[in-house]
Amino acid sequence: RAKSASAIFFNTFDELDCDILDAISSKFVPCYGIGPLHLLESKIADESVASFKSNLWKEESECIKWLDLKEPSSVVYVNFGSITVMTSQQLVEFGWGLAKSNYSFLGLLAGWCPQQQVLNHPSIGGFLTHSGWNSTIESISSGVPMICWPFFGDQQPNCWLGCNKWGISMEIDNNVKSDESKIPIQSCPRIVVGCPSTFPCSCADRRYSSAETD
């Protein structure tokens, strides 16, 4: 079906995915990066479509008041998407690992928060994510480095690109047991939030590049 189309549009931008867009264009039809789409929401004048969101759940905004009390770049935002399932053991390991990191962290066990608002909050210093594309491009647009724990689909390649090409992410072991992982969970926030110079490309650079498309 892609070959019969006149063009294909992607929620990305040239500075980030130029090589990929060119590769797809060479095999199918012209491809264009028209994102990040979430940056365009404020420009929607038609109220009948202004409420359309990519979230599957109702947003709970109470957490913003808590973030307002925190120091800049002192909180790790934790969100594994709306369909991720983890074991009780994994939940415990993540909880204790984050607690031992000595950084504050924000995560909801049920429901959803206004992710774009959270990622743009000055208190957020890192994002522990499943590496879904919406979360990835929103984090890049907000200038927040990522700790990646991918599961399936596009999450693995998104994680690989963030770690190996864009230089704005680090991946943690699929086995999250603190005594068996190569890099314990409690160490990740210290690397991402405490030592941003670890990354060869500043997330702020990617944020600037994505903002140029706005």
Closest to 42 (Cα-Cα) out of 120, 139, 135:
120
Distances (CA, A) of 102 to 54, 96, 98, 150, 184: 32, 11, 7, 24, 13
Q: Which residues pair with 8 in a beta bridge?
A: 31
The answer, yes or no, to whether residue 74 has pLDDT greater than 80, is: yes
Residue 198's pLDDT is 58
- 196 cis-preceded (ω within 30 degrees of 0): no
Residue 208's pLDDT is 46
The answer, yes or no, to whether residue 90 has pLDDT greater than 90, is: no
Instruction: With cut-offs at 50, 70 and 90, classify the pLDDT of residue 182.
Output: low
Residue 118's pLDDT is 94
The answer, yes or no, to whether residue 93 has pLDDT greater than 80, is: yes
Residue 212's pLDDT is 57
> How many other CB atoms are found less than 10 A from the CB of residue 133?
17
- CATH 3.40.50.2000 domain span(s) along the chain: 63-211
Among the residue ranges 51-55, 81-85, 92-96, 122-126, the one predicted with the least confidence is 51-55
State if pTM tops 0.85.
no
Backbone angles phi, psi at 23, to 5 degrees: -65, -45
Q: How is domain 63-211 classified at the architecture level of CATH? A: 3-Layer(aba) Sandwich (3.40)
